[in-house]
């Protein structure tokens, strides 16, 4: 733990549910875990946690290259703060940033969604940023800065992002994001005007982050990243079998904007997400 920092790194065991409501119903759930890492603490955390690497191979690892990179040196934090400045939000360099994400497993990683929580030095929550990645490895960030009386961060915003070939990129995301405490919850729903078409939820329970527990999770959640990408493609196949309308990556290019790491080869076959 960083001296004086109230935000410590943890694990969260989670249940994830996706429920497609329109045009045909399709529901599935699965279990996984995520890392909640204080970015200031990450280098020291990787040194003392023998099965966790930072920018190097291990059973599990967090690589800066998997997250926001605008070309600024110093890793994830300065690049995120620079992006926030482009959104009209300026925070000091010593702002505490906690990253909730999936680790790489044996060097392979896929991170469909990660969350950055920014805190004051006293531990007061400031804003949340959702980092969404599609299977083309394109990335888009969404700033959520309004916290409602229910304790959740809320924002409804047009996606303008090709997340799934079975959803128009011009639909809206409705974010409801909780603060990671003993429990953690996230809802990200898709809306077509007033009609909710897809429900996505994460429910997590806090666990201490130790070498022993993380090593146990290597067996409890085997090949986590491979399982996530396999489930994405398997359920995409099932949706295709149900004859759900399909959008190609080259469709609706005008509704795909403000991307980081934009995919350049538009002639390639679509990868499913």
Residue 89 near residue 127, CB atoms below 8 Å: yes
Res. 252: pLDDT tops 80 = yes
Listed in sequence order, the DSSP H helices in the chain are 42-48, 76-86, 211-220, 224-241
Radius of gyration of the chain (CA): 18
CA torsion sign, 53 to 54 to 57 to 60? positive
pTM score over 0.75: yes
> How many angstroms separate the Cα of 234 from the Cα of each of 29, 168, 201, 239?
13, 20, 19, 9
**Region of poorest pLDDT, from 3-7, 131-135, 138-142, 268-272:** 268-272
Residue 115 phi, psi dihedral angles, 5° rounding: -135, 135
pLDDT in tens, 41-63: 999 999 999 999 999 999 999 99
Q: If you average pLDDT over residues 6-29, what whole number do you get? A: 93
Q: How far apart are CA 70 and CA 125, in angstroms?
A: 24
> How many angstroms separate the Cα of 135 from the Cα of each of 5, 81, 122, 263?
35, 25, 37, 10
Q: How far apart are CA 154 and CA 145, in angstroms?
A: 8
Residue 249 phi, psi dihedral angles, 5° rounding: -60, -30
* Annotated domain spans of the chain: 10-255
pLDDT in tens, 112-148: 999 999 999 999 999 999 999 998 999 999 999 999 9
DSSP state for residue 140 in the 8-state scheme: E
């Amino acid at each position: 733990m960083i001296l004086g920092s109230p935000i410590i790194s943890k694990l969260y065991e989670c249940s994830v549910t996706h429920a497609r409501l329109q045009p045909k119903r399709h529901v599935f759930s699965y279990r996984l875990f995520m890392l909640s890492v204080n970015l200031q603490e990450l280098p020291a955390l990787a040194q003392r946690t023998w099965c966790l690497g930072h920018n190097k191979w291990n059973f599990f690892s967090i690589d800066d290259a998997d997250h926001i990179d605008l070309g600024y040196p110093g890793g994830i934090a300065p690049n995120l703060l620079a992006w926030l400045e482009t959104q009209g939000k300026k925070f000091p360099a010593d702002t505490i940033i906690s990253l909730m994400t999936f680790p790489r497993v044996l060097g392979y990683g896929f991170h469909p969604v990660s969350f950055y929580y920014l805190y004051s030095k006293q531990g007061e929550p400031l804003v949340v940023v959702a980092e969404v990645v599609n299977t083309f490895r394109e990335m888009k960030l969404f700033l959520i800065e309004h916290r409602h009386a229910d304790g959740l961060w809320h924002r409804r915003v047009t996606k303008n992002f090709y997340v799934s070939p079975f959803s128009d990129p011009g639909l809206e995301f409705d974010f409801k994001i909780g603060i990671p405490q003993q429990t953690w919850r996230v809802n990200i729903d898709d809306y077509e005007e007033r009609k909710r078409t897809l429900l996505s939820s994460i429910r997590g329970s806090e666990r201490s982050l130790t070498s022993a527990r993380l090593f146990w999770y290597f067996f409890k959640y085997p090949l986590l990243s491979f399982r996530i990408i396999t489930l994405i493609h398997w359920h995409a196949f099932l949706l295709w079998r149900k004859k759900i309308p399909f959008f190609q990556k080259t469709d609706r290019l005008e509704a795909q904007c403000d991307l980081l790491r934009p995919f350049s080869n538009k002639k390639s076959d679509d990868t499913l997400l």
